[in-house]
Copies of this chain bind each other. A is one copy, B any other.
Amino acid sequence: MPAALETHRTQIEAILLAWGMAAANAAETAEILAWADLHGIDSHGMSMLTGYDSWRRQGKLNLACAPRIVRESPVSALVDGDAGLGHVPAAFAMRLAVAKAKQVGLAAVAVRNSAHFGACGYYSMLAVDAGLIGITTTTASGVRVAPTGGAEAKLGTDPWCFGAPGEAGRPFLLDMATTTVAFGRVRNKANEDLPAPPGWVLTPDGQPSTDPLDVVQRPGFLTSLGGTRENSSYKGYGLAMMVDILAGALSGVTFPSDPGHAKAEGGVNLGHFFLAMDPGLFRDPAEFRTDVARFCGQMRATTPADPATPVLVAGDPERATAARRRAEGIPVGPGLLAQIRTIAEASGAPWLLG
């Protein structure tokens, strides 16, 4: 039976505490991971604990991490993540950007020496909930994407997230990988013995393929958004480079294309970037929010191609899932549940899920 959000969150927290994470950090990290599961972003919630456990066992996570500001101005900061998991440094950094933007209107914070931080959307929402536009992006540890025309992995899924306040409770929230699809969706096709749709996958030689095993079993590649050169995959590829320039080059961490990226001893060394901007710099913030709400409403009112499938706006599907899961609990598949139970037992954490 799906566990209630609070139980789900507490289970994650218990495991992090058992790993030796400080109480406040464990609470915040669990909150952020559970937020992803609540919103249906299952790839970035509890399921991440298996990867985090692996990093932890390799000595690559400083569980006692305390982010610190190493450089600062009224509009900016560079934060060192202290080689911990990324959630605490990332939330610290976006809160700092929000506080500065509340003072001067616009601020950006880069984070170095960090690790995976869960779903980008959580951080952009910290800005949105403060009435601000929020941008969140991060380098990725996995390197599975070949640049357009290439036959070598040089990029990650390199996510981009933009949020803006609009109608109360229904902000615009775009949180996207710059690849056509995530690895998990290709794996699902392989599990079902189905072909991958054209545009998802490249062979190890960089040729278009519909065989999911080219990525799941062989060293092929995920495509950049667009899928093929003909369908402008160089745009998704360019967006991925933009992400790595903002999150990687500004913070001074390694790029996915660097030899040894995310493989150094003592830390994963990912970089993040956050921007917060007050619409009040330009006009009445209430009028701005009204306009964003009107714009979103115009999209939702579009005549649908299929009458059974209304047009949605970025953030709508995740909010619908969150409403359902708040009521019905958060489902975890049996495979993942068994893995998490093993991790909990190995670290001496209590087991709270069914």
Contacts and interface: CB of A to CB of B under 8 A. Distances in A.
Given A107-B106, A207-B305, A295-B244, A311 B150 contact: yes
A205 B249 CA distance: 44
Contacts of A258: 298
Given A74-B104, A205-B305, A241-B314, A225 B232 contact: yes
Contact of A106 (B108, B147, B255, B292): B108
A86 to B, nearest CB: 17
Interface in A298-349: 298-299, 302-306, 309-314
A93 to B, nearest CB: 12
Contacts of A314: 234, 237-238, 241
Interface stretch (A3-11, A55-63, A282-290): A282-290
B252 A304 contact: no
Interface residues of A, number: 86
A12 to B, nearest CB: 28
Interface string A258-275: 100000000000000000
A294 to B, nearest CB: 8
17 contacts: A71-B282, A73-B105, A75-B281, A106-B107, A106-B108, A148-B312, A149-B309, A150-B305, A162-B238, A162-B242, A205-B305, A206-B305, A225-B235, A248-B295, A250-B283, A252-B282, A257-B298
